[in-house]
Amino acid sequence: MASEIINEIKSQIKIGNNFLISGGAGSGKTYSLMKVIDLIYEIDSSSTIACITFTNIAANEIKHRAKHEKLEVFTIHDFLWKSIKNYQNDLKKSLVDLVIMEKEVEKSGIKYTGEKDISIEYLQDKEINYKDYRKIDNGILSHDDIFKISNYMFKTYPLLCDVLKDKYGYILIDEYQDTEEQVIDIFLKYLPKSNDKKNIIGFFGDSMQSIYSNRIGDLKQYIKDGLVFEIKKNDNWRCSETVIDLLNKIRTDDIQQTRKRRGDEIDIDLSGSAKFIYSNAEDIDFESIKINPLFEHWDFNDVNETKELYLTHNLIADKAGFGKIFQIYNNDEIIKQVKKIKKKSEEGSSLDDIKSKTFEEVLNMDIAKETPAFQGFISENGELFNQTKSIFFEELSRIRLNTDQLIGNNSDKLCIHLKKIQERIDLYETKQVNEFTRKVDYKILSINDKKELKSAIDTIVNQKNETIETIVNLADSMNIVKKDDNFTNFINENQYVYDRVKSLPFTEITNLYKFEEKKTPYSTQHGIKGAEFNNVFVILDNGKWNLYNFKHFFEETARKESIVERTNKMFYVCCSRAKKNLIVFYHQPGGIALTKAKEWFGPENVLEI
């Protein structure tokens, strides 16, 4: 890290200012974090530092690289839980308050639909615990609950802020842009209001790589208000010079990177390549495209060095082996039919007339016109349709199905539950015994307990080709993954969805999990964040994902600013994964898009194939 940046950080620490180190892709932000830790201990050897990371992998890497006695490294969930877990009385009161708040105003608190009355009296003899599943009536909170209850407690009980500031002189937050806004509020709104003792919050990240929804994204307002001092890094140690030139053009802030050469790169050509290719043909065969001379030296079988990056999942699902469950979430004919009927009834002011009717009754009304696709679906799925006919239309109309709920950080509670099961199977099969035993809800007090646990997981592994319902029931009965409140609530509110999913082979979940764990040749814009490859082939395809739109992005469409900004960040993340060579494919671009491509890539690098 350059001496001028070190000196700037040092001066901000001595003044007592919160600071942010902003750097683009490949700028060495983790290395900067390590250097800042060393710097703090040079200045203040007696202080305790809390370092907060986005993943367990990142936490373990920092623990390995920065071996200071008074350094504590956490994921954000673990940090928050450690901060509040000993205050059981306040935890119980906060849980009760948040359950009540949620009943009064949706999404304001913690959802609970069980039969028990969650009150102080009811919780008196229970201990509040945090696990990776939720069981509110047993006092068990899950991941999302930790954010909400921590924010509420730090806001409500200033003593918590005092204790935290007394314990940690410095709190360093890696990948800050991916942190929940309600967590940032704890550090920058609630802590400053407590006692006179001051601590320093350090942030590390890049607002251009904020591609997850419902996260803080940036600290612009805090910087403007003088609560955070920003320090910018303009180095890039990863990408070729040509790729960096492209990245500088598509950034929307004033960070402009230059390629820094490592000691082992003295005789290496760092120029690289970045090309924009397109086709105006109606049908596209990507296998044929990949034998174009442009890809002559690319090895698509080497998934560690060459990545085929699709920006929508429908082009990947069948190839990766989870096409059946993807089809349900992406294009369920009954839910599509329900949406059409609901929209038509709203336009005709007759929605109240059909809410209390069954789906079969509504289908017999004039308002429902069956499409050929719907008729074909019910003829092929007669048993499912017969079960669905008796469900009230209002219940079906509340169901939301889209691929965001299947893949990624916004997966619904059913998919989260199913992936937990596969995660346990994967840990067991890859002999990660300690991590496996830590994850399962199984008390091991004797050798016999170990034998019982092994027998339980062996039973599941031996039957993983069975249906999803079979494996869910096995995992629950054997305490590998219990059916918790999240799972039960989902089934109660989305019985139709579970009826569709439960008869699929569990191998669909196995393959989905492998895809998300980067164990296939394919990836998406979210899946490659933080990764790097020598060669990256990016296919720009909106599909039906209305959060992103490449036409709007390349043409800078008016009144679509939020979509343009979101797509810009995703495009930046995709392109910045390339260490050497980047090829971007666009199907049937318009004239404005081609003009923009020539401006960014250079006219000689925009090629029709």
Q: 27: annotated binding-site residue?
A: yes
CB-count burial class (<10 Å; 0-12, 13-18, 19+) for 514: middle
Are 32 and 23 spatial neighbours (Cβ–Cβ below 8 Å)? Answer: yes
Q: 28: annotated binding-site residue?
A: yes
Task: Read off φ and ψ for residue 371, nearest 5 degrees.
Answer: -85, 160
Q: Rounded to whole angstroms, how far apart are CA atoms 131 and 141?
A: 6
Dihedral (Cα; 298, 303, 307, 312), 10-degree rounding: 140
Q: Which residues of 59-77 are buried (b: 16+ CB within 10 A; e: fewer)?
A: beebeeebeeeebbbbbbb
Would you say how long the chain is, in residues?
A: 609
The SS3 of residue 75 is strand
Structure tokens at 493: 């509110």
Q: 23: annotated binding-site residue?
A: yes
The SS3 of residue 205 is strand
Q: Within 10 A of 517 (CB to CB), how many other CB atoms are there?
A: 13
Q: 446: annotated binding-site residue?
A: no
Q: 578: annotated binding-site residue?
A: no
Nearest residue to 392 (alpha-carbon basis) of 360, 342, 350, 358: 358
First to last CA, the chain: 43
Nearest residue to 540 (alpha-carbon basis) of 362, 279, 332: 279
The SS3 of residue 480 is coil
On the CB side of 364, how many CA atoms lie within 13 Å of its CA? 7
Structure tokens at 339: 């949406």
Write the DSSP assignment of 41-67 as a string of letters: HHH-TT--EEEEESSHHHHHHHHHH--
Q: Rounded to whole angstroms, how far apart are CA atoms 111 and 193?
A: 29
∠ CA 436-440-444, nearest 5°, is 90
Question: Which amino acid is located at 390 in the chain?
Answer: S
Q: Within 10 A of 139 (CB to CB), how many other CB atoms are there?
A: 19
Q: 24: annotated binding-site residue?
A: yes
The SS3 of residue 549 is coil
Q: Rounded to whole angstroms, how far apart are CA atoms 3 and 5?
A: 5
On the CB side of 524, how many CA atoms lie within 13 Å of its CA? 22
Structure tokens at 476: 């629950």
On the CB side of 340, how many CA atoms lie within 13 Å of its CA? 14
Q: Rounded to whole angstroms, how far apart are CA atoms 261 and 248?
A: 18
Q: Which residues pair with 274 in a beta bridge?
A: 582
Q: Residue written as tokens 């490449």?
A: 550
Q: Within 10 A of 42 (CB to CB), how many other CB atoms are there?
A: 9
Are 129 and 142 spatial neighbours (Cβ–Cβ below 8 Å)? Answer: no
Q: Rounded to whole angstroms, how far apart are CA atoms 380 and 364?
A: 20
Are 184 and 154 spatial neighbours (Cβ–Cβ below 8 Å)? Answer: no
Pick out the residues of the known binding site.
Answer: 23-30
Pick out the residues of the known binding site for ATP.
Answer: 23-30
